[in-house]
Structure 1
Amino acid sequence: MELKRSLGFVSLTLYGVGVTLGAGIYVLIGETAATAGSLAPLSFLIALIAALLSGLSYAELSGRYPASAGEAVYVQEAFGKPWLSQVVGAAVTFTGLFSSATVLQGFSGYAIALLPVPAWILILVAAAVLTGLALWGVKESVWAAAAVTVFEAGGLIVIIVLAAPKAIEDPVAFMPVSNPALGVMAGAAIAFFAFIGFEDIVNMSEETKEPSRNVPRAILATMIITGVIYMAIAWVAVAAVLPGDLAEASDPMAEILRQTGHPGDEAISIIAIVAILNGALINMLMASRVLYGMAKKGLAPAVLATVNSARKTPHVATLLVTAFVLTLALLVPLSGLARMTSFLTLCVFLLINLSLIILRRKHEALFDVPIFKAPLWTPYLGIVTAGLLAISALAG
């Protein structure tokens, strides 16, 4: 049984923006400021360039191979090694699991301040609601996530608008770190986590109308929208608030409002909670689709390709993803999860860029089709930037 094609360019772009914005920026701006100081915007710029280079490679490959488990398919086509495709598919799935677990822990941290309930209960309830949405149907899940995306993007834009006057008229003192070069690169490895998500668009290909046309466009639109918002947030954050204050705040976005003399820190906390749940939902959707796509290709147990006859969703894969996410969220410490997610994603990006180089040579006729074609140098620079950031993430 096939998945239902119900997503268009707009809903797919909103899906991409939703999973990319997610919870990362609400938490990681403080961590990046602690590492890079006032040069945090430069860290975000380097992370954006690295993500954009790989994003262009994803856009070109997705137009030629529009399938779920996109990364595993690209690597299989390029290298012809099933074991390598399985490793890549597993890495992509684990990034989704780690990301979902990380943001569910973040959700409980924010929610406890508003609801005096044990964290494990909050995590269980949130996971149950998200699983229900994921099983309901991809169109309903994506449009629910899209509505939340507009909400969370609006919160970030409000922060930018309110904090910009102080950042321009009365900026705080420039605060460098002891080793600016290392600080900026380490900050970029952290900031990169906030850009993770655009690549998940390819895993919705089998539920997208005209995927060869809409998937590449949605990838590029997602990167432009999130890149502009992130750079603006990074600038107002370190221009309006001292990096040390951002680093010490458990709610850095609310801290920006407090230090610029604006009320609304509780409202921002609520938006952060919603953003976190949105990110968890979309990551769970992605991970289940990767498992489904791998099972269809014979790279994972066939039972994971089972589709619910009524809702047309991969329910077995979705329930397995929920079980793993709950285990990680309840048992694994938060520290290091973001870095490990970044490292795994960057390793996958390196392989995707290498796959594009190989496939361009193996199938020249296929890659001459005018769907979307990245500049010839893109995958080479993508390999270099992904490799450098992966080393930075691993080194901490």
Structure 2
Amino acid sequence: MLAYYSFVGFETSVNLAEEVQDPRRSYPRALFGALLTAGAVYLLVGLVASASVPTDRLAASSGPLLEVVRLAGGVPEWLFSLVALVAVANGALLTGIMSSRLAYGMARDGLLPSVLARVLPGRRTPWVAVLATSALSLALALTGEVDALAETLVLLLLVVFVAVNAAVLVLRRRPGEAGHFRVPVVVPWLGLASCLLLFTRVDGAVWLRGLVLVGLGTVLAVVNALRARRSRSAG
């Protein structure tokens, strides 16, 4: 499950697709291009690492790529650590952008408190959503180690991916707009199957933490949905 964390990040770009000039044309190409490029890089890194260092040594190490750097030489360990730190920070930044934009969009649709939809007058930055999601991230960071938090994030993303793939199957039955991207029906079915398979690899402690967060989110969504319904009825 922890290895799945290395593939996290591609889905965050969808939250910024509305800022693309022609998302129906540009976004699918950019997304699939990034997936193919990253997949090729991951494959090459895996092949080089396996060819350079014995597999059992890589499996037993807490820093497999660091073992490759040590064996190859030429790159100072402090420089490799700096690059790794920047890479991890970049992943955290992408997750922060995704969560704040997602909270802003849900607030704008009435699924979260409307205060999260407030933006700066000039830059249009959802500053309340940024502060709220950052505070929540800091609070969660105090509840466990990095590996446990990463596995919890993967579990929550799997829940999201199940909902997205199910939504794709429903949306395929609707005509939609002319010229929109239409994915083959086998793709969402394979997505659902892979998510269900990965659910079986989640530890009990991760399930407990994840279900608590999903439960809190569900309660908040129900409360705001009822509030929005009452507002429409009153109007």
Q: Structures share a fold, TM > 0.5?
A: yes
The Cα offsets for residues 261-293 of structure 1, whole Å up to 9 and x where unpaired, read as: 443322111111111111111211111000000
Aligned mates of 1:335, 1:233 — CA distance in 2? 22
2:194 counterpart (369, 385, 389): 385
2:130 counterpart (312, 318, 333): 318
The Cα offsets for residues 313-370 of structure 1, whole Å up to 9 and x where unpaired, read as: 0000101112112222234333422222222212221221121111212x1x217x33
Aligned mates of 1:257, 1:384 — CA distance in 2? 37
Aligned mates of 1:303, 1:207 — CA distance in 2? 22
Q: 1:213 aligns to what?
A: 25
Aligned mates of 1:348, 1:330 — CA distance in 2? 24
Following superposition, the deviation at residue 394 of structure 1 comes to 4.1
Tell whether 2:172 aligns with 1:351. Answer: no
The Cα offsets for residues 192-217 of structure 1, whole Å up to 9 and x where unpaired, read as: 21111111111112322222222222
Q: 1:193 aligns to what?
A: 5
Tell whether 2:172 aligns with 1:373. Answer: no
Secondary structure of the structure 1 residue equivalent to 2:200: helix
Q: Which runs of 5 or more residues in structure 2 are unaligned?
A: 207-235
Contact persistence 1:253–1:268 (CA under 8 A): no
Secondary structure of the structure 2 residue equivalent to 1:393: coil
Tell whether 2:91 aligns with 1:279. Answer: yes
User: What TM-score comes out, normalization by structure 1 length?
Assistant: 0.48
Q: Which moved more, 1:236-245 or 1:317-326?
A: 236-245
Q: Which runs of 5 or more residues in structure 1 are unaligned?
A: 1-188
Following superposition, the deviation at residue 385 of structure 1 comes to 1.4
Aligned mates of 1:217, 1:326 — CA distance in 2? 34
The verdict on how the C-alpha distance between 1:190 and 1:330 changes in structure 2, with shifts beyond 3 A counting, is closer
Count of residue pairs the alignment pairs up: 205
Deviation >6 Å, runs of 4+ = none
Which gives a bigger RCO, structure 1 or 2 (Cα 8 Å, sep 6+)?
A: 1
Contact persistence 1:288–1:317 (CA under 8 A): yes
The Cα offsets for residues 140-163 of structure 1, whole Å up to 9 and x where unpaired, read as: xxxxxxxxxxxxxxxxxxxxxxxx
Aligned mates of 2:179, 2:3 — CA distance in 1? 34
Contact persistence 1:340–1:394 (CA under 8 A): no
- What one-letter code is carried by the residue in structure 2 that aligns with 1:357? L
The verdict on how the C-alpha distance between 1:266 and 1:251 changes in structure 2, with shifts beyond 3 A counting, is farther
The verdict on how the C-alpha distance between 1:315 and 1:190 changes in structure 2, with shifts beyond 3 A counting, is same
Aligned mates of 2:126, 2:179 — CA distance in 1? 33
Alignment of 1:291-370 (within 5 A): 291-361=103-173, 363=174, 365-366=175-176, 369-370=178-179
Q: 1:256 aligns to what?
A: 68
The Cα offsets for residues 218-269 of structure 1, whole Å up to 9 and x where unpaired, read as: 2111211111111111222222212343344443322211123443322111
Aligned mates of 2:155, 2:126 — CA distance in 1? 28
The Cα offsets for residues 57-106 of structure 1, whole Å up to 9 and x where unpaired, read as: xxxxxxxxxxxxxxxxxxxxxxxxxxxxxxxxxxxxxxxxxxxxxxxxxx
Secondary structure of the structure 2 residue equivalent to 1:392: coil
